[in-house]
Amino acid sequence: MSEAYKSGRPPAPTLRVCTYRRAFLASGPVPEAAREGAQNAAISARGLVRTFGSNRAVDGVDLGVNSGEIYGFLGPNGAGKSTTVRMLCTLLKPTAGQATVAGYDVVDRPGEVRIRIGAALQEAALDERQTGREILDLQARLYGLSAADRAASIERAVDLADIGDAMDARIKTYSGGMRRRLDLAASLIHGPEVLFLDEPTTGLDPVSRAQVWDEVRRLNRELGVTVFLTTQYLEEADALADRVAIIDDGRIVEEGPPSELKRAVGADVIVVDLPPDAIAGAATVAETVPDVDAVTRGRRGITIATADGAATVGSVAVALSGAGFHPQSLTVRTPSLDDVFLLATGYRMSALDPAAEGGDGAGGSGSRAAAAGSGGP
């Protein structure tokens, strides 16, 4: 680690990055070629492992995130999301494997990684006795920005946080949404190349959540910031991410653009609610119906993939009725990321109660155990 980093002063490249990104903001949207990131991977990981005693919280994760991309990291609590992020942010050393962020190894060159990333983790690290403006000023000073750069960066962050006169009020008076927006603005004060957002909207109301989504899109579009977004909200990953990876029990089980992942499920899905003792038999019957592509069993029924749900649902209903099965409901809809998750893991992420689960370090298999008691079709 460099002496400049130890003293809280980043090397000169950070100031150049900050100036470069201010120029981007002033000049409008980032050119498409810059967003595609064909030249360099912003994040790369191979065989990443982290154990806590006998628990393998992260179990051989491979990642490749392009520069300028919003990459969604989707999974329930306990799946390994936050542990992976902590390793990529150099807050936790991998047990095995290798990872680079912004071109630097997270173990061999952690200082170089830190000055090139921003991080807004699950709990906003904000001193309630300070004002929002004081937090931004402190963050800028810790990164060693000159007086001129500091003033410009703070003003940009004030605009980004968009909390009005509350910027000069004590943080203890802030709502959850205001704290999250300030934390996001503070993480960008030095113009990072890569931004890690770990569960950025957990606990926020729908309006505050939508505001955070808008800011993430704007940062990516106008500043070209690579965003690594971990979330347990399916709609959040679907709305924001260029690509998503689904992690379960410490392993990535699916990856790709949301639209392609959903298309792979089928053009439509038919969700059939059934009593638990009828699920196995009904699934066998449904598999014999023409134009049914796949049948997945869940805790509360079955999910049927088909090219034309409207044309097939009648045949499914007739076949089930003829075999003595009486569904509580049949619903036709387009596939969702929850359907992708179901096919990849065998249970629905939407059936999990986040408040009932532990963190990554407490038990990587807690997600599946929780699902076993509450899953959906």
Write out pLDDT tens, residues 198-222. 888 877 788 878 888 888 898 899 8
> Which CATH number characterizes residue 274's domain?
3.30.70
> Which CATH number characterizes residue 25's domain?
3.40.50.300
pTM of the model: 0.75
pLDDT for residue 4: 38
In this predicted structure, the answer to whether residue 236 has a pLDDT above a threshold of 70 is yes
Q: What proportion of the chain, given as a percentage, has pLDDT over 90?
A: 55
Q: Domain ends where: 224, 245, 260? A: 260
Whether residues 172 and 274 share a domain: the answer is: no
Rounded distance between C-alpha atoms, residue 366 and residue 121, angstroms: 21
pLDDT for residue 353: 44
pLDDT for residue 108: 96
Whether residues 274 and 243 share a domain: the answer is: no
- Domains in the chain, number: 2
In a domain, 377, yes or no: no
Mean per-residue pLDDT for 254-281? 92
In this predicted structure, the answer to whether residue 122 has a pLDDT above a threshold of 70 is yes
Rounded distance between C-alpha atoms, residue 54 and residue 33, angstroms: 45
Q: Domain ends where: 260, 276, 301? A: 260
Rounded distance between C-alpha atoms, residue 132 and residue 273, angstroms: 49
Write out pLDDT tens, residues 307-325. 999 999 999 999 999 999 9
Write out pLDDT tens, residues 15-63. 334 443 443 334 343 334 333 433 578 999 999 999 999 999 999 999 9
Burial 280-305 (b: 16+ CB within 10 A, else e): eebbebbeebeebeebbbbbbbbbbb
Whether residues 170 and 281 share a domain: the answer is: no
Q: Domain ends where: 260, 288, 318? A: 260
Whether residues 253 and 268 share a domain: the answer is: no
Question: Domain range spanning residue 366?
Answer: 261-372
Whether residues 255 and 265 share a domain: the answer is: no
Write out pLDDT tens, residues 243-265. 999 999 999 999 999 999 998 88
Token look-up 């950025």 returns 200
Residue 317 and residue 257 in contact, taking contact as beta carbons nearer than 8 Å? no
Whether residues 281 and 246 share a domain: the answer is: no
